[in-house]
Amino acid sequence: MSEKEREWGKIVLSIKNCTACPLHKTRTHPVPGEGSLNAKVMFIGEAPGRREDETGRPFVGAAGKLLHELLSLAGLRREEVFITNVVKCRPPNNRDPTEEEVEACSKHTKKIIKLVDPEIIVTLGNHSGRYIVEVVGGGEWRGVTRSRGRPLELRIFGAVRKVLPTYHPAAALYNPRLRAKLEEDFRMLKKLITPQEKLSGKRRNLLDFLGKG
Ligand code: URA
């Protein structure tokens, strides 16, 4: 087991044992998040819904299905990104999370961001955008409608990171106009991701793979 996997195990345990806000009393399973601990892109949604509460996994309901379709527009597979939420326990009746609940969950969210250390954070919806841009990044949050599709460079835990705010997929399920904007934003995301060869500092070509480079 790698050091990162060990650290992730500790974060999951502290979320399971968390009583920092009242949501732990009504949830079935906490939903810490899932994906690659080395992901270049992290998606942060709002809070688990019914299916997520039942399974303990993020974005497995109808909004998750749309998220998968959007991921493919950005050339990404679910296994290679990391997905979490600003609130890890389901609010009763799927109501919006309160600022106090987001704040209470903040210690977990911050640990997750530090551990995965993604190149790009995509915020899904208003609550997530406000928290990442304003609280974590120290930037100005102008609401999701005005902020979406405009990538920001923010200092997040000492390093400059790209943040791309967009709508929450659930908002686009029955609204084709919002869905078109989300698709636009995921196509933009594809362009923001630094190709692997640039990250590793050397472009590999066929000769490298044949051992002749
Ligand atoms: N909506 C969210 O914000 N998060 C989930 O995990 C599922 C639906």
- Residue 109 scores a pLDDT above 60: yes
User: What's the pLDDT at 194?
Assistant: 82
Interatomic CA distance for residues 48 and 53, integer angstroms: 6
Q: Determine if ligand 1 sits within 6 Å of the CB of residue 83.
A: no
Q: Predicted confidence band at 200 (pLDDT cuts at 50, 70, 90)?
A: low
pLDDT tens column, 49-91: 999 999 999 999 999 999 999 999 999 999 999 999 999 999 9
DSSP state at residue 163: E
CA distances, 148 to each of 66, 73, 163, 185, 188 (Å): 17, 17, 10, 8, 11
> Phi/psi of residue 29, each to 5°?
-125, 140
Domains of the chain in sequence order: 3-200 (3.40.470.10)
Nearest-atom number in ligand 1 for the CA of 124 is 3
Inter-residue contact 141 to 130 (CB < 8 Å): yes
Residue at 73: amino acid letter: L
CA nearest ligand 1 atom 7, residue: 59
Residue 49 in contact with ligand 1 by CB distance below 6 A: yes
Ligand 1 center from residue 45 Cα (angstroms): 5
Average pLDDT over residues 193-198: 77
For the Cβ of 48 lying below 6 angstroms from any atom of ligand 1, the answer is yes
Q: What is the pLDDT of residue 66?
A: 97
